[in-house]
Amino acid sequence: MHGTAAGPLIDPTSRPAAAAPPDGDASAGTSQAVGDVVRRRAAELVAADMDPGSVAGHVRDAQREMARFRMGYEFGIEEMLTKIRILRSEFRQTHDHNPIEHVTSRLKSMDSILDKAVRYGCATDVPTIRERIRDIAGIRITCSFESDAYWVADMLSQQPDVEIVQRKDYIAAPKANGYRSLHLIVRIPVFLSDRTEHVFVEVQIRTIAMDFWASVEHKLSYKYRGDVPGHLATELLDAAHTAAELDARMGRLRDEVRDLGTEGAPGAPRDAETTPA
Ligand code: 0O2
């Protein structure tokens, strides 16, 4: 991937235009895309009259390098998930409220990585992609309340091996379309047998209401290829305001319950009912 005799393995001009669906099965999509990229590269080398033995060697090298590239991000996700799991378990044992409802993760597909590299106008060699595309590994944490989202962000930020590279607070300052979420780009070390890799992981933290809205908006945006018709965009913005109001009301109700000291009383939702991280 760093550049073979016949050029970089990741060549955005040699792949089909269609990108993988953004919310698809990330790991399956990525291996599929990696396989496609390697097969296309092999076909190019054959067409360039390279002898079959050299082509096989190049393909093996490329496959190995692709696997190494993905591995760092997979382990980065695992490390962050472990941190989140520990926070969640500790909180569950010491408090009667669980700030984390559920957690999902995904590895960006090779097609999406290349789309973004093209959009950023950056080179497609591995070091450049590693540096410029910072959401190859992604984690989404869904909380019940806005204050929980900030709490989770603070807890992760305080960990000594988590470097906060960027923090975007779309809760305090929503996007023009109404999108709200707290985004962190973190950089964490991944300790391998022969080296330490530092990988970027994007962590999106949001409430259930924000997540519901973003999921509907994403589907509409995908359906209309990013150009949602005016009346639907207005409807979405209105729904975002409603979701924000719901978050605010639920926060006030939670404060009320907390003041009364009745959390954990009969009838209150039990932690065991939530999805484990
Ligand atoms: P996917 O498939 O979810 O990963 P850029 O990443 O360059 O597009 P920027 O400013 O670096 O833009 O990133 P930003 O604003 O932090 O947003 C990155 C991610 O947040 C997106 O990733 C989405 O997951 C989510 N997001 C941001 N804005 C919206 C929005 O308006 N609606 C919805 N539903 N999600 C949003 P990707 O790469 O677009 O997609």
Q: Measured from the CB, is residue 189 less than 6 Å from ligand 1?
A: no
Above 60 in pLDDT, residue 3? no
| Range 12-273 classified under CATH 3.40.50.1460 | no
Instruction: Answer yes or no: is pLDDT of 205 > 60.
Output: yes
**What pLDDT shows up at residue 67?**
84
Angle at 47 between CA 45 and CA 53, to 5 degrees: 45
User: Which residues is 7 bridged to in the sheet?
Assistant: 4
Q: Give the pair of three-digit tokens for residue 43.
A: 């076909």
Greater confidence, 259 or 144? 144
pLDDT of the residue at 156: 97
Instruction: For the chain, give every domain's residue range.
Output: 12-273
- In order, the DSSP letters of 82-129 are HHHHHHHHHHHHH-S--SEEEEEEEE--HHHHHHHHHHHT---SHHHH
CB burial class (10 A; 0-12, 13-18, 19+) of residue 267? Answer: exposed
Residues above pLDDT 90, as percent of the chain? 59
217 ligand 1 Cβ < 6 A? yes
Q: How far apart are the first and last CA of the chain?
A: 34
| 108 alpha carbon – ligand 1 mean position (Å) | 12
pLDDT, position 36? 61
What does residue 184 show for φ and ψ, rounded to 5 degrees?
-120, 135
Ligand 1 midpoint to CA 167 (Å): 13
Task: For 27-65, write each residue's pLDDT tens digit.
Answer: 334 444 555 666 666 677 667 777 777 778 877 887 788
Q: What whole-number distance in Å separates Cα of residue 62 and Cα of residue 102?
A: 36
**169 Cβ closer than 6 Å to some ligand 1 atom:** no
Determine if the pTM surpasses 0.75: yes
Q: What is the pLDDT of residues 115-133, one digit of tens each?
A: 999 999 999 888 999 999 9
By mean pLDDT, which of 36-50, 132-146, 249-263 is the weakest? 36-50
Mean pLDDT, rounded, for 59-87: 90
Measured in angstroms, how far is the CA atom of residue 29 from the centroid of ligand 1? 19
Question: Residue 260: its pLDDT value, please?
Answer: 65
- Asked if residue 142 has pLDDT above 90, the reply is yes
Average pLDDT of the segment spanning 170-199: 96
Tokens linked to 228: 């949602």
Min mean pLDDT across 40-49, 157-166, 218-227 is at 40-49
Q: What is the pLDDT of residue 66?
A: 81
Region of poorest pLDDT, from 18-27, 115-124, 128-137, 199-208: 18-27
| Among protein residues, the one whose CA lies closest to atom 16 of ligand 1 | 183
Of the ranges 35-39, 212-216, 226-230, which is most confident? 212-216
